[in-house]
Amino acid sequence: MDFSFTREHELVKQLMKQFVDNEVRPIAAEIDETERFPLETIEKMAKYGIKGMSFSSQYGGSNTDYISYVIAVEELAKACCSTACIYAVSTGLVAAMIEKFGNEQQKQKYLPGLLAGTSIGAFALTEANAGSDASAQQTVAKDMGDYYLLNGSKTFITNAGYSSVYIVMAMTDKSKGVKGISAFLVEKDMEGFSIGKIEEKCGVRASSTGELIFEDVKVPKENLLGKEGKGFNIAMAGLDGGRISIATQALGLAEGALDEAIKYVKERKQFGKPIGKNQGLQWYIAECATKIEAGRALLYKAAWLKQAGLPYGKEAAMAKFYNSELAMEVTIKALQMHGGYGYTKDYAIERMFRDAKITSIYEGTSEVQKIVISRHILDL
């Protein structure tokens, strides 16, 4: 059993650390405060080859493996969960789904832009009355012969308003339930497609989250992703990979929060000595560091299984569940170690604390992860 990174992985980690220190960390507080989508960072990611990680050079990728992608998300999340979220959805979810389920024409049309940073992707499954119950879709795509007529709306869609291509789930046959859901590639300029309300959020504020509205949108037949009626299966497969991405965001966030706490307890003095000499805070550090190592083991096992082409649904759910809860625990303790200063915007831990909560909600709540895990174990 080998837990070490390859030389390539070490180089990716080094590249990402440099990129984060130079391009991400310096603006993290500003884009959070102003809720500004960091388009310039996405463009710079493409120049560094970060957008194409885990994809073939045939489509503009950088020919690195899936573990390299996970390393990239982890390093981004240490400094800015918003940026990690934008990247993970566009690359790790949308581009990955097109690569896996798209035909060659769709891959050639959409992947080069997504991997070159000239295009951003979004995944649209959630509706106002269809959150954890994805089968309760109300958005409808009617077969009109040469095209599908799309009507409905989606909510809480990451990258809304900034994406060029949206993977949209819609009912093509309501009588079949989940077997009547299909997946479509909807482009931003299609007539009848508009962006509704953009949410004002507690955390990940630089990541745009909004509503999509479809009013008689004509979607060409060639924009059907996969086969008709297979949308639910495509969505669930995408979410399995998405859970690894969220687990990675959560782990990186916890690591970043612990780094901030360690730095603070070494510098802050009370009663004539650094507060890190107090046993109580040392215990906090030890607890957080130990649980982070456990979370890393869960995450990289899931990522290794995915990369090896082995079943990984249970492990992805475990990693997502554990690390999202871990992110909350570590950021709370790290904020506590900062005392009153941790509750101010002068320190990054305040932002990290707000960012952590969403990791236990999106891509399936912690409660949903428990259901997924138990069904795998019970073989239900």
Are residue 75 and residue 180 in the same domain, yes or no? Answer: no
Please say if the pLDDT value at position 141 is more than 70: yes
Q: What is the mean pLDDT of residues 79-87?
A: 97
Q: Structural domain of residue 329, as residue ranges?
A: 239-378
**Residues 33/345, Cβ–Cβ less than 8 Å:** yes
Please say if the pLDDT value at position 30 is more than 70: yes
**Which range, of 59-63, 94-98, 119-123, averages the lowest pLDDT?**
59-63
Are residue 247 and residue 372 in the same domain, yes or no? Answer: yes
Q: Which listed residue (74, 228, 363, 367) is catalytic? A: 363
Give how far Cα 305 sits from Cα of 162, 234, 236, 299, 302, Å: 32, 19, 17, 10, 5
CATH number of the domain that residue 324 is part of: 1.20.140.10
pLDDT for position 379: 87
Are residue 255 and residue 320 in the same domain, yes or no? Answer: yes
Please indicate whether residue 363 is annotated as part of the active site: yes
**Side-chain-side CA neighbours of residue 284 (13 Å):** 24
The string of pLDDT tens digits covering residues 217-253 is 999 999 999 999 999 999 999 999 999 999 999 999 9
**Residues 46/117, Cβ–Cβ less than 8 Å:** yes
**Residues 8/14, Cβ–Cβ less than 8 Å:** no
* 102 located within any domain: yes
* 193 located within any domain: yes
CATH number of the domain that residue 220 is part of: 2.40.110.10
Looking at 183, 201, 232, which one is the last position of a domain?
232
CATH number of the domain that residue 54 is part of: 1.10.540.10
Q: Cα(235)–Cα(250) distance, rounded to whole angstroms?
A: 22
Residue 295: which pLDDT band, with cuts at 50, 70 and 90? very high
Which structure tokens are listed for 229? 């009626």
pLDDT for position 1: 67
> How many structural domains does the chain have?
3
* 1 located within any domain: no
Q: How many CB atoms lie within 10 A of CB 220?
A: 13
* 203 located within any domain: yes
Please say if the pLDDT value at position 368 is more than 90: yes
174-178-184 Cα angle (round to 5): 80
